[in-house]
Structure 1
Amino acid sequence: MNIESRINGRRVLSEPVGSSAHDMLFVAVGRLKIAVAPIFFLVLLLLGCSKEGGRQAYPSQEPAARSQAPENSPSSIRIVAFGPTSARVGQPFNQQANRSSAMWFKLDRAVDGLNIVLRFGSHTFRPVSHGDVVTVEVPPVLISSPGSISIIVEIVPTVGAIVDSNVVVLHVQ
C-alpha cells in the first residue's frame, strides 16, 4: 500500500515504514548496530592495550633488525642529559597534574617527526617530543621496588634497522 504525499510541491509515493517484514527487520538491525557499536569500539580499544604499559602486544609489529649506529652517523641518537637520575621507592617524582611521575631526556638532535620510543628495561613507552627534548610519564610499577632501570631511546624507522641510543640508568632507592 503506497501513501501519496507532497514534498516541496512534488508528488511523492512511499510505502509506510514497518509495513513489511523487510522494513521491520531493517529497523531492528539498525537498532542492534547502534547498541553494539560502543561495545565493538571498547573491544578495539582494549586490544591495543597491554600489561606492559604501552608495549606492542603483537610480535609481528616489532621490526627484527637492530643496530647501534656509529656516533657520527646521521642515523644515530644520543641521550646527553636526563632527569631525574634517581627516585625513591614508591615516591612520585616530577609529579604532573594527573599525579603521575615524569622524566625528561635531552637528545643530541631534534626528533620531531621521527617514530621514537623510550625503553625502560622491558617496558616501552611513546614519549612526547619537542625539538631535542622528550618527556614521558613513568608508571608507579617502575619505581615500586629498588634497583637500576636501564633506559634507551629507539628510533623506529618504517624501513631499515632500529637505532638504539646510549644507555642511561634511573636508580630507584
Structure 2
Amino acid sequence: MTTPLPFFSSRRLYAFILLCCVGLLSYALYTQYYDGLHPCPLCITQRAFFAMMAACALVAFILHPHQRGRYIAGGLMLACSIGGGAVAYRQVWLQSLPPELVPACGPSLEYMFSNLPFGEAFQTLMMGDGNCAEIVWTLWGLSMPNWSMIGFIGLGLAAIASALPMVKR
C-alpha cells in the first residue's frame, strides 16, 4: 500500500496545470497583440496543444475523478504534452538550420485550411516553413519554442504525477 504524499493532491496538480496553461496562453496572446509578434503555424499549433491540456485539466479539476479517471485525465494531458512538445521540437530544429536549408515560406493558415484537403493542410502545417524558422523573441538566450518545449516537459511531468497512486485524491 502506498502512502499519499502530504502536500500533493491530484486536484492541486490539475489546478497547477490549468493555471500554467492559461498563463502561457495569456502571455502568447500578449506578445501577439501588444508586442506585435505574429505567430507562425507551428506556434498556433503549440497554442492549441496548451489549450487542449488546459481543457483536460479543467474537466479533471471539476469532476475530481477516482484512480481510473485520474489515469485517463493524466494520459490525455500527457498526450497533449507529447504532441505539443514534438511540435515545439520541430520548430526549434527549424530555427537551428542554416539559412540556406530553411524551407521557403508557405501559404497562410487560412488559405491552407480553406483550399487544401484537411490531411494535406495538416501535413503542410506540421512541416513548418520559413516563418517558423525566424527567431524574433528570446529570453536568456532561448527562443519562444525553446521555452514552450520546456513548458510541455514540465506539464507532462505534472500530468504523470497527477495519476500516481501515491498522490492523494
TM band (smaller chain) = under 0.3
Compute the TM-score of the two structures, normalised by the length of structure 2.
Answer: 0.24
Judging by fraction of residues, say which structure has more strand. Answer: 1
Judging by fraction of residues, say which structure has more helix. Answer: 2
Q: Which has the larger radius of gyration?
A: 1
Larger RCO, structures 1/2 (Cα 8 Å, 6+ apart): 2
